[in-house]
Amino acid sequence: MQTIKTAADLKKAITALEDKQAIEWPLLKEQFLNTYESFKLSNVLKNTFKEVITAPGMKNDLINSVLGLTTGFVANKTIIGKTDNPLKKLLGFILEMTVANKVAQHADAIKTIGSILVNKVVHLKNHKSNNGDIL
């Protein structure tokens, strides 16, 4: 910036700075709002989840883990049920974690077997409906 020697130079410098501020202020506000939005907990979680899902192999691992946990939970509720007995609760938790671990480890095989069973059921249903049998 040049050295200011006169009142006219000062007015020019002030006008130039005001023009610069008028241009940069809306950009600064927009950037602030974008930054504020990105730090909201829901957006942080959403972005983290997107990163995890897009990571190579993570999507399949996540699906396998969810499948394992769901199966373990269902096994616990089916076999142990609702109880106030601490020993049964402990056994239920152990059962749930064991089933979840085994299902997560062998999820691909379980998905393949499940797919085969579904295809057989659909094929059987289609075969019966084509023969005119009542389902």
Residue 26 confidence class, pLDDT cut points 50, 70, 90: very high
pLDDT at 1: 62
**What residue spans define the domains of the chain?**
1-39, 56-130
CA dist 90 and 29 (Å) reads 55
59: CB partners within 8 A, 6+ apart: 53
pLDDT at 24: 96
pLDDT at 19: 96
Report yes or no: 97 and 72 within 8 Å, Cβ to Cβ: yes
If we measure between CA atoms, which residue out of 103, 31, 52 comes closest to residue 73?
A: 103
pLDDT at 134: 53
The pair of structure tokens assigned to 100 is 């979840």
- Predicted structure pTM score: 0.44
Report yes or no: 104 and 72 within 8 Å, Cβ to Cβ: no
